Amino acid sequence: MSDRLETEVGYKQIKRFMAKATSKDLVLRFFYFAFACLLYSLWRLIDHLVQVFFSDTYGDDPWVTMHDVLTSLKKRTGVG
């Protein structure tokens, strides 16, 4: 996969972690984006650690899906 395509796919996935906002406040919108990037990175880290722990390898297909993480966050925090 080309670097550009990987970047586009990454941003598309990050958007799924973003809170819906209609605010024109740039600071708030930047916070939402930065927080979404943090959640995305945590998801990738958790998936990586699970794969390495159980199989000693890491593949491209996630074992822990984004849907699993978002559902778990919503259940535990009510956010989402």
pTM of the predicted structure, to 2 decimals: 0.68
Dmax (CA) for the chain in angstroms is: 46
> What residues does each domain of the chain span?
3-77
Residues 6+ apart with CB under 8 A from 64: 43, 46, 47, 50
The pLDDT tens digits of the residues spanning 6-34 come to 777 777 778 777 777 788 888 988 888 88
Look up tokens 């740039």; give the residue. Answer: 26
pLDDT at 1 over 60: no
Angle between helices 26-55 and 3-17 (to 10 degrees): 110
